[in-house]
Each structure stands twice: as C-alpha cells, then as structure tokens.
Amino acid sequence: MVNPFFKNNGPFKILEIINFLNIKDNDLNKNIEIQDIKDLITSTDKDITFFHSKKYVDIAQKTKASFCITAEGLKNSLPNSCTPIIVDNVLVSVSKITSLFYPDSISDDFDENVTIINDTKFKNKVSYGKNVLIGKNVSIGENCKIGHNTIIEKNVTIGDNCSLGSNNIIRNTLINNKVKILDNCVIGKHGFGFFPIKNQNLRYPHIGIVLIEDNCEIGCGATIDRGSMSNTVIGKNTFLDNQIHIAHNVKIGENSIIAGQVGIAGSSIIGSNVKIGGQAGISGHLKIGNNVEIGGGSGVIKDIPDNTKVMGYPAKNIKEFLKGNR
Amino acid sequence: MVNPFFKNNGPFKILEIINFLNIKDNDLNKNIEIQDIKDLITSTDKDITFFHSKKYVDIAQKTKASFCITAEGLKNSLPNSCTPIIVDNVLVSVSKITSLFYPDSISDDFDENVTIINDTKFKNKVSYGKNVLIGKNVSIGENCKIGHNTIIEKNVTIGDNCSLGSNNIIRNTLINNKVKILDNCVIGKHGFGFFPIKNQNLRYPHIGIVLIEDNCEIGCGATIDRGSMSNTVIGKNTFLDNQIHIAHNVKIGENSIIAGQVGIAGSSIIGSNVKIGGQAGISGHLKIGNNVEIGGGSGVIKDIPDNTKVMGYPAKNIKEFLKGNR
Amino acid sequence: MVNPFFKNNGPFKILEIINFLNIKDNDLNKNIEIQDIKDLITSTDKDITFFHSKKYVDIAQKTKASFCITAEGLKNSLPNSCTPIIVDNVLVSVSKITSLFYPDSISDDFDENVTIINDTKFKNKVSYGKNVLIGKNVSIGENCKIGHNTIIEKNVTIGDNCSLGSNNIIRNTLINNKVKILDNCVIGKHGFGFFPIKNQNLRYPHIGIVLIEDNCEIGCGATIDRGSMSNTVIGKNTFLDNQIHIAHNVKIGENSIIAGQVGIAGSSIIGSNVKIGGQAGISGHLKIGNNVEIGGGSGVIKDIPDNTKVMGYPAKNIKEFLKGNR
C-alpha cells in the first residue's frame, strides 16, 4: 500500500534505464523489461532494486530483483540472479529511476486540474463552504463537511463522518472515518528530502502517501508530508494540537496525544499511547516505544523504550532531568 | 463575562441531568430546575457545580450551588445546602452536563452560515478585500479593514480602527479598538482539551471566548484558542510576533512583547510588561509575574515572580544560566 | 538596492523635518533641502543621518551627511560639516523622519488595490489557480505557476520558471529564477520591530525588501519579514523546510539547508553551505560562518566561526555537547 495514487509509467527496458542514467554497459541483455523500482526485500524478478550501504548486506544477499543499482564495493554481496549496475552515487541514481517510473512524484506544483465543488458529483453529498476546490481521483464518504477555501487536490480519499475546516490543502492522502482536520493545514506534499548539489539541489521522489486513521484530530496549521518510499501514518484516535510538523515517512501509533508546535523529523516511528509535550522535537530515524511520555520542550535524539518518561535536551529519564535541575 | 456568545439551553430539571449521566438517585427532588453549570465560587442556588480535587476543599465548603457533581471521598466537604451527585469521573460528567447546557461549545465544524460581505450590512462600512465572509452575530466598528479571504465566523465583535489582514479565520472572539491582526491566523477555535479515551477521545466544552484588548498586534500564523470555562485574554498593547500559539484559558497582561514561535500552554497567566524571546515555551497552569523577561528558547516549567529575568530549559535565573554555560 | 519599491516622498526642507519632530532650533538654515534619511556611512551631503551609540564613533567622525539626529553626549564626535540635531530618543526620531520620507513603509494593511489575475496582463502568460490576486507594480517572468488563493500584493518581481503554491501572501519581494514557494507563506510583511511605548507601541519603518535568489525552495507556512533599513536575503539554492520564521534583515548565504520550525531572529547573518537542524533558534544580530552545522533544537546565542559544528542550548561545540550529555 505504498503508492495507491502514483501511476507507474513502466515497464521500461533495462536499456532505457541505463541510458537515462548515462551508463554504458555492453554486457546487459538490453531488452529485458523492468516493471518497477522497489527495495531489496519487496522486489521481484521483474524489478530493479538498490543497495547503498553495508548495513543491508544480509537482505541484499536474498533479494529477488533482477538488477540492482549499487557501488563497486558492494556488488559482491548480491546473489548471482541479480545483475549489479555500478554507479557513482546510488541514491541519486535511484532517485532518477524512480522519477522515470513515477514522474508525478517529483513535482508538487499546485494542482491545475481542480474544479469548484459546486460543479462536481459531491455537490449534493457533502456539506461545503465557499470556494471549495476538488481535484481528480478524489472520493468522499457520507456525512462529511469541508470548510471554506479548502483545496482537495488530486489523489485524496476521505471516509465517512469527517469534518475538515477552512483553508486546508490536501493531496495524496487517505483519510479514514470520523477524522477532524481543523484549519490552515497542508497535508500530503512532498517532504524535505533532496540531494544537496551545489547551485541546484536534486529533489528525490516521494511516492508514499499520508494515511490518517479513524477518529484522529489534526490541529490548525499542521504540515504533514507524504512519504518518500513508504507512507506517513497517523494512527487511530491520535490527536495533534496546533502548529505541528510531521515529516515524511513518520509513523505514529494509536491513541497518542501530541501538543502544540511539536516537530517530528523524517522516518521516525512513534508508538501508541504516547504523550508528547508542546514544542518537543524528535530527530529523524528514531524509534519511540509505546506508552512513552516526552516532556514539553524536549529534544529527543535517541530511541526511547516502551513505558518510559523522558524530558530535556537531549531528552533523558525524567527523574534524572529533574534531579539535575533542582 | 465568560460566555457572551454561547446560548444557554437551560434550564433543565435535575432529573433530566441525572438521566443524561445515566445515574439513578431516588432521593433527589426531581423537578428542581437548574439554570446553569458553574464553578464552586460563582454558582448560585439555581446552579449545579463540580468538585473534583482536595485542593478545592476550602471553597467547596462555601459553595452556594444546590447540587454538586463530585466523588464519594469528597462529598463530606460540601455544605448541607448542596446535594452531592456521585459519579465515577467528575470532569467527564461536568463535560457532559456542559454540553447539555451549551451544545454549540463542543463542535467547531466550519461555519456554514456565513455570507459574502458584499451582501451584508457591512458593505459600505468596512474596507474589505475579495472573498471576505461574515457569520451571524458579528458586529464591526468604525474605520475597520478586513483583508482577502478572511472569514469572520459567528460570534465576533470588532471595535473601531482595527486592521485585519488576509486568510484569517476568527470566531467567538471579542476584539477591542485599534487592534491589528496580520495574516493566516486562527482565533477562537476550541483548545486542545479533551478526555483521553481509548479509540475515541471525548472533547470537553469550550464556553469561553478570546478577548483581544486595545492596541494589540497579532502576528502572522497565530493560533489563539478560546477558553474552556474562562476566557483567553491578550491584554492592552501586547504585541505577538509570527507563528505564536496561545492555548485555551491563557491570560496575558498589558504592554507585553512576545517574539516569534513562542508557545504558551493552557491556563497559564502572564503578567504585564513581560518580554518573551523567540521559541520560548511556557508550560500550562503557571503564573508569570509582571516585568518578567524570559530569554529566547527557554522552557518555563514553574512560576516566575515579578521583576525576574530567566533563561534556560528548565528556565532559571539568567545569571545562573549564563554562569553555568560559560 | 535597499528600497526599490518604496517611493521617497522627499525632498523636505530641514525646517519641515524639525517641525515634524516638534523641535525648535533657531540656528538652522531652514531652507536647506534634504533628499533622504540614510545611515552614517551611505549618507551624502544631501541627506540627514543618525548616530545613537558610542559604538559608531569612528564612522560618525567620517559621515558626509549635512545633518545628524543624535544625543547631547554624542554630538562632539560629528565632523564640522554635519550639524547635530539633539533629540531625547534618537531612534524614535529616526523612525518618525523615515515615516515622513517613506509613509508606505509603516502600514502593512492588506492591499486594497489588487485585481483578479484573469483581468490582468498576466492572464495568458502565467499558469494560475482560482482566485489569484495581483497588486500594483508586479512583474512576473516566463513559465511561472501561481497556485489557488495566492495574493501577490504590490511591489513584487518574480523571475522565470518559478512555482508558487496556494494561499501565499507576498509583497515587497524580489524573487529570482527557478524559485519554489510552497503553500501558506507570508513573505515581505514588516518585521517585529517597534519602540515599546506604554499603551501604544510605535512601529518603526521597514523600507527593505525580501530578496529570494535563484533555485531556492521555501516550505509551507514560512514567514519571511522584509528588512527595516536593509534587506532580508535568502541566498541561491538555499532550501527552507516547513514552518520556518525568518525575521527582518536576516541574510542567509547560498546552498544552505534549514529544517522545519527553525527561527532566525532579526539582523542575523548566516553563511553559505550551512545546515540547521529542526527547531533550532538563532538569536538576533549574530554572525554564523560558512560551512557551519547547527544541531536540531539548538539555541544559538553567540557568533559561530566557519567550519564549526555546534549543538545545545546555548549551542556549543558538538563534541563538548555530546560529551556532557552521555
């Protein structure tokens, strides 16, 4: 369920792909067709994958992909069934190939193909405000409200009994039932992911979506970015206060409570029944357990096990923090 | 002056109230009429009140209310004139009763009953931009400006010589004279107050308003939530920079200066002539004195007396902070 | 290039200026014409300047201005060619004179003189959404996109190949080529600069602009204030994540990367190739060198030399920070 909304432009012949990367490789069977680009684990023999760090040797050895973008020093870990394609920068090449398969995942220009809701099939189904715009590939369930000036851009599914406020901008997002989204939110835009290149950075593709589960509430001014190679998820009955930033690929569990102005950096995984105080920040690629409480203003820079209370910058056990600050 | 905007649906007979709570109590005189739900101090003998913590024993002993929602262990502190009604969770029951008296105080769905300003009595009185919407029960004084796409939802009073920017959303708010509100603000929505309940949290009612006094300036992107049982107040000539979050029930004094991205959690009281540096955070239920200076980035987790300069996380005397960080 | 957009209402006779300040000075040659108000260094003999702190004695001694607003204790540092005008509060008087020359630089009320883009010369040139508004003195280059509800107020120049999202409000801003601005940004409003005066603060003029150079990306919900006496600058290929606040007069170099919810206070200068982690804050009037890395959540309160990694609050060398926090 990574990319229900992005159309795969493939298949491409392997020759087209290596030409696109400006690589010459005379040993390849150039007419083999590639269906998709996937990670080492989920690839099938119709796909191309990528392998960029020794951390992934174990899963690289078992990949089923037929081709793999990798570096000279890593290629020997691949099985014989997988032909290495050697590049200078693996992630940049992956980004380029992904953009070949999913050209819509790079650009987040405004959606030009929206229609005022009065002229859509939702006219008599939804309770809506002034100036509401609806993009293509949008579905909306029963008994929903959409406030003034809200723009539902392309690729949005909204369940039943949802209430959206005014001035929101939403795309590439799956909203389940009984969800409340207050005002001024931007949900489903690409994340802050790119390769820094002097004079002109290279954005990497974001083929994930934002998934907001049942009974969630999203406060005013939230920004929730969609995932790059996976989804951004807000679990059931999790409540977000105002002015919160949730970066790409973040996953938050159920019944969690996140106070105002919190920021969660890319790819961190937050458990269920977690409470995060106002203005706390959580670095990227961390794992925060279940039933964790994070004090307001904390800066979390390492994983936190289940059932722990932390506070401080860097965040530590709350008793230790309070003892050190009498 | 707690709730000038919320219509009281009462009176209700005490029988209706206890039925609504699913309580059986055969000893009650079931036909007594209750006018309102109020706190221990302001209740009259026509009201029902609530008592949920030993902290309030002293005032509970003096309440004039005829009925009181409370717990078994607390009921003996009430005067004989006040009949206890025993419940499992006092605050949840209070929330339910409040929603009975003030059903509009729970839901903050977008206001469906707005009209484009050109079609209102304000057409020739106010200087306004494109697409300005006006709700019911709105009054606007002399010489005011309202920018493009701004939505003045129901229950808003604006004084004279006010300048509102574009893309604001305002409801349940009383704005005095010469106030400036820049752009993209959301003012008067309910706060982040609810009872956490697995799978479906229960919002508690917000029957307070936001009061913004003379000569204030509110920066871009502010969120100022209305109060739950009291008001949120921004005192005279207090200036707020951009991206500030003011939670429900917060009261800020006069002539204070609050820099960008500051957050003030629920029910804290800030004095007059206070300066708060950028990104500082103030926990809930604190009392910050007059003439206090709080350094940028500070995290305030306890009360601060008058005439004090603090900095750090947790915030301490600024000399101590700087000494400890040479 | 400080104020390409603000019309200078001068010249004024020196008599008019001192009358405006309510000063009597019978020794002045009252008919001398003053063209502009400038700082000590850039003034010519047609200008009035100001000198308010001993820090500037060296440059005061060399000013070419004919008149100088200053204090009794400073006047003797001025050259004979410069006539001192003694006032009680130098900066307040400067503010008043600036508002005389540049009356538009004080007020930031919404722009009443905008036109729906369909009725402008940009109708067939720009790719635009619904409800886009365009002010006076706006120019837009080739191949640009402007999203729904975006308001380009007066005094905006946009280069070629720019993509602006929806719900943005922009004024007094110069945007170069290939710039992306996502959604809900407010760019070019005056900064949080004013003289605190009991009961009614006095805003000081902002005659600077915001300059955004080639290939920049500005995330959702950004607020970027224009400069007061100089410009606010975002250098080439610098990327800003969501919910960032850039105060007046800030200058950021090229190829820098600034993560979500960062705030940079007024007049700080940030170098090139700088990386700033999420939620970091930088105090005002600081100088951050090139190739600096600032950890997420840091609070920077002093200058940082080139090629340094810092973290913490207050920010210190990152090794020291991590050592102290094991």
- Asked whether the beta carbons of residue A225 and residue C236 sit closer than 8 angstroms, the reply is no
Query: Who contacts C135 (Cβ-Cβ below 8 Å, separation ≥6)?
Result: C111, C113, C114, C115, C151, C152, C153, C154, C155, C156, C171
CATH superfamily of A12-105: MurE/MurF, N-terminal domain (3.40.1390.10)
Distance from C-alpha of A199 to C-alpha of A201, rounded to nearest angstrom: 7
Residue B3 scores a pLDDT above 80: no
pTM of the model: 0.93
The topology (CATH level 3) of A115-323 is UDP N-Acetylglucosamine Acyltransferase; domain 1 (2.160.10)
Question: What is the residue-level pLDDT of chain A in tens, covering all 326 positions?
Answer: 456 788 899 999 999 999 999 988 767 777 899 999 988 988 999 999 999 999 899 999 999 999 999 999 999 999 999 999 999 999 889 989 998 999 888 889 999 999 999 999 999 999 999 999 999 999 999 999 999 999 999 999 999 999 999 999 999 999 999 999 999 999 999 999 888 989 999 888 899 999 999 999 999 999 999 998 789 999 999 999 999 999 999 999 999 999 999 999 999 999 999 999 999 999 999 999 999 999 999 999 999 999 999 999 999 999 999 887 76
**B195 pLDDT tier (thresholds 50, 70, 90):** confident
Query: Who contacts B42 (Cβ-Cβ below 8 Å, separation ≥6)?
Result: none
Q: Distance from B45 to chain A by nearest Cα, in Å?
A: 37
Q: For B261-282, give the DSSP string.
A: T-EE-TT-EE-SS-EE-TT-EE
Q: Distance from A281 to chain B by nearest Cα, in Å?
A: 12
Instruction: Provide the pLDDT for residue A227.
Output: 92
In chain B, what are the domain boundaries?
Answer: 12-105, 115-323
B contact test, residue of C108, C267, C313, C321 with most B CBs within 10 A: C313
Residue B141 scores a pLDDT above 90: yes
Q: Distance from A310 to chain C by nearest Cα, in Å?
A: 14
| Residues in chain C within 8 Å Cβ distance of A283 | 277-278, 296
C contact test, residue of B145, B242, B255 with most C CBs within 10 A: B242
* Helices and strands, counts by H and E, chain B: 4, 37
* Distance (Å) of CA B220 to CA A125, A265, B9, C200, C284: 35, 24, 36, 20, 19
Against chain C, the chains showing at least 3 CB pairs within 8 Å are A, B
B contact test, residue of A128, A130, A240, A254 with most B CBs within 10 A: A130
| Residues in chain B within 8 Å Cβ distance of C261 | 261
Query: Who contacts A240 (Cβ-Cβ below 8 Å, separation ≥6)?
Result: A216, A217, A218, A219, A222, A234, A246, A258, A262
Q: Nearest-CA residue of chain A relative to C163?
A: A109
- Asked whether the beta carbons of residue C112 and residue B130 sit closer than 8 angstroms, the reply is no
Query: DSSP character for A105?
Result: G
pLDDT digits (tens, 9 = 90+) for C139-181: 999 999 999 999 999 999 999 999 999 999 999 999 999 999 9
Closest CA to B246 of B226, B273, B220: B226
Distance from C-alpha of A219 to C-alpha of A202, rounded to nearest angstrom: 31
Of the partner residues A131, A148, A255, the one whose CB lies closest to the CB of residue B198: A255
Of the partner residues C129, C236, C278, the one whose CB lies closest to the CB of residue A263: C278
- Asked whether the beta carbons of residue C165 and residue A109 sit closer than 8 angstroms, the reply is yes
Against chain A, the chains showing at least 3 CB pairs within 8 Å are B, C
CA C23 to chain centre: 30
Instruction: Provide the pLDDT for residue B1.
Output: 47
User: Does ipTM surpass 0.85 in this model?
Assistant: yes
A contact test, residue of B192, B195, B232 with most A CBs within 10 A: B192
| Residues in chain A within 8 Å Cβ distance of B196 | 255, 257
- Asked whether the beta carbons of residue B110 and residue A145 sit closer than 8 angstroms, the reply is yes
Burial grade of B108 (CB within 10 A; 0-12, 13-18, 19 or more): buried
Q: List, for chain C, all residue ranges whose pLDDT scores fall below the cut of 50.
A: 1
The residues on C that touch B, with CB distances below 8 Å, are 108-112, 114, 116, 131, 133, 149, 151, 167, 169, 184, 186, 189, 192, 194, 196, 198-201, 221, 223, 225, 243, 245, 247, 261, 263, 265, 279, 281, 283, 299, 301, 313-314, 316
Of the partner residues B169, B184, B223, the one whose CB lies closest to the CB of residue A242: B223
pLDDT digits (tens, 9 = 90+) for B11-38: 999 999 999 999 887 677 778 999 999 8
* Number of Cβ atoms within 10 Å of the Cβ of A27: 6
| Residues in chain C within 8 Å Cβ distance of B237 | 198-201
Instruction: Provide the pLDDT for residue A25.
Output: 72
Q: How many CA atoms lie within 13 A of C233 on its CB side?
A: 19
Four-point Cα dihedral B174, B163, B264, A211, nearest 10: 100
Closest CA to B17 of B57, B50, B63, B62: B50
